[in-house]
Amino acid sequence: MQYRRLAREELNELKKLQSIVYFMKYDEKEEASSAWLDELRWESSRGAFTDEGKLAAVMEIIPFKAYLDGKAVGSSGIAGVAALLEHRRGGAVKTLLKNAYKEMYEKGDVMSYLYPFSHEYYRKYGYEQGSFSNLAKVDIKQLKEVRIPGYTKQYFPGECMDDIKSVYADFARNYNCCIARDEWRWKQLFSNDPYKTKERIFVRYNEDKKPIAYLRMQANQVAAYTHDLVVIEAAWSGAEGILGLLAIVQGYSGDLRKLEMDVPGDFPIELLVKENWSLEISRRRTGMSRIINIEKALETIRKPSEPGRAVIGVIDEYAPWNTENWAVEWNGGDCGVSKTGEEADIVCEAASLSQLVTGYLPLGSMMVRSDISVKSNEEVLGKLFVKKPCFIWDRF
Q: What is the mean pLDDT of residues 145-169?
A: 97
pLDDT score, position 33: 63
Please state, in angstroms and rounded to a whole number, the distance separating the CA atoms of residues 122 and 114.
9
pTM: 0.95
Q: Are strands 280-285 and 151-155 parallel, antiparallel or unpaired?
A: unpaired
Asked if pLDDT for residue 29 goes beyond 90, the answer is no
Distance from C-alpha of 391 to C-alpha of 288, rounded to nearest angstrom = 11
**What pLDDT is stored for residue 26 in this prediction?**
87
How far apart are the C-alpha atoms of 220 and 216, rounded to whole Å?
Answer: 13
In sequence order, what are the beta bridge partners of 282? 135
Give residue-wise pLDDT tens across range 35-67. 888 999 999 999 999 999 999 999 999 999 999
Checking if the pLDDT of 30 tops 70, the result is: no
- 213: which residues sit within 8 A by CB, 6+ positions away? 167, 203, 204, 234, 235, 236, 237, 241, 242, 244, 245, 248
What does the alpha-carbon distance between residue 214 and residue 220 come to, in Å, rounded to a whole number? Answer: 19
Residues 267-271 have a mean pLDDT of: 96
For 65-116, how does the pLDDT look when each residue is reduced to its tens digit (9 = 90+)? Answer: 999 999 999 999 999 999 999 999 999 999 999 999 999 999 999 999 999 9
| CA atoms 193, 194, 200, 203: torsion sign | positive
What percentage of the chain exceeds 70 in pLDDT?
98
Q: Are 42 and 11 spatial neighbours (Cβ–Cβ below 8 Å)?
A: yes
Question: CA 140 to CA 157: how far, in whole Å?
Answer: 27
Does 333 have pLDDT greater than 90?
no
CB atoms within 10 A of CB 348: 25
DSSP three-state, residue 65: strand
Helical residues (DSSP H) of the chain, grouped into ranges: 11-21, 35-44, 92-107, 119-123, 162-172, 183-189, 238-250, 294-300, 350-358, 363-366, 378-384
Rounded Cα–Cα distance for residues 225 and 211 (Å): 33
- Quote the CA–CA distance of 276 and 389 in Å, as a whole number: 24
Over the chain, what is the mean pLDDT? 96
pLDDT (0 to 100) of residue 319? 98
Q: What is the pLDDT of residues 132-150, one digit of tens each?
A: 999 999 999 999 998 899 9
Please name the amino acid found at residue 174: N
Is residue 32 pLDDT above 70, yes or no? no
Give strand ranges (E) for 264-303: 280-285, 288-291
Q: Which of 98, 51, 104, 56 is nearest to 77 (CA)?
A: 104
Return the half-sphere exposure (C-beta side, CA atoms, 13 A cut-off) of residue 370: 0
In angstroms and rounded to an integer, the radius of gyration of the C-alpha atoms of the chain is 23
Angle at 261 between CA 123 and CA 237, to 5 degrees: 95
Structural domains of the chain, ranges and CATH numbers in brackets: 2-128 (3.40.630.30), 133-285 (3.40.630.30), 291-384 (3.30.1050.10)
pLDDT single digits (tens) 215-261: 999 999 999 999 999 999 999 999 999 999 999 999 999 999 999 99
Round to whole Å and give the CA distance between 114 and 285: 12
216, 220, 214: which is closest to 242 by C-alpha?
214
27: confidence class by pLDDT, cuts 50, 70, 90: confident
CA angle 240, 213, 355 (to 5 degrees): 90
- Classify the phi-psi angles of 253: left when phi > 0, otherwise alpha if psi is within -120 to 50, otherwise beta: alpha
- 214 forms beta bridges with 203, 235
Q: Is the dihedral of CA 153, 159, 165, 171 positive or negative?
A: positive
**Across residues 9-23, what is the average pLDDT?**
94
Q: Is the pLDDT of residue 31 over 80?
A: no
Nearest to 146 by CA among 204, 209, 217, 226: 204
CA distances from 115 to 128, 168, 248, 286 (A): 10, 22, 30, 7
Furthest-apart CA atoms within the chain: distance in Å: 70
